[in-house]
Structure 1
Amino acid sequence: MGWVLTRSPSCLGPMKRQVAVKSTRGFALKSTHGIAIKSTNMASVEKGESAPVRKNTRQFYDGEESCYIIDAKLEGNLGRYLNHSCSPNLFVQNVFVDTHDLRFPWVAFFASKRIRAGTELTWDYNYEVGSVEGKELLCCCGAIECRGRLL
């Protein structure tokens, strides 16, 4: 079993984690030990029209009536430092805690391969290239199989 990475007060002390700065990608989360990673505390969840409109917030929900957005721009757990890679070492899954309501999953990250100490923890955002008209977002992951663009 791996380390659970959360921002709960009881875990802030002796946890084995490292947040580093990378010049082209901002903050990044790296493992300090070779481990299987799981991160479960959700970032804030806001519903459709009641969600505050923030400058620079991207919303992709096709106008559905019950839209939930995970927005870790202002606050969140360590998962907010997991960057995109076209060749990720983590995968994401919905996990249901305290409810089976499909609208309220927790977002959990699991190791998809062995992760060596000092390796940046990454996952594939799975954005569809060309899905947002007039928007182009270049990928900076540096992977050999890099797709070149996120959007």
Structure 2
Amino acid sequence: MQAVGATRTGIRLSPDAGIWGVRETDALELYPALLAELAPLGLAYIHVIASAPDEVLAAMRRAWPRAMIVNPNHPANTTRSDRAAAERWLGRGADLISLGRAFIANPDLVERLRRDVALAGEDPAYHYAGGDTGYLTYPSYVPLA
């Protein structure tokens, strides 16, 4: 953090995600307390995966004084995030929404969201596989005349 400064640094949190078998029984108390300790550092943002119950994320929003980015998709969830999920979290206090996998399969994601067009699905077989396939080969939406 010293190399770039706190105002250019953020932290990503996945509350109660159960990643690698870790289960948190006290997320509602733990994460607001963590954010209360992090806030004085002056970090630019937190990036939160919506992996905990809504009440945990709402408590985190109340505890964090700066930008909160929410990814509405649990890491183990195979359902893609969409415009409705993004709007839901914006309505719940998120400042920004991250839609990583949706961007992979939709090079024109912003335009698709703007037009409320269905999102294309990504092929997980190409995630982190190297090469251009799966990253540069998804077509853009072409409206029918």
TM-score (norm 1): 0.27
Flag the structure with higher strand content. Answer: 1
By relative contact order (CA 8 Å, sep 6+), the higher-ranking structure is 1
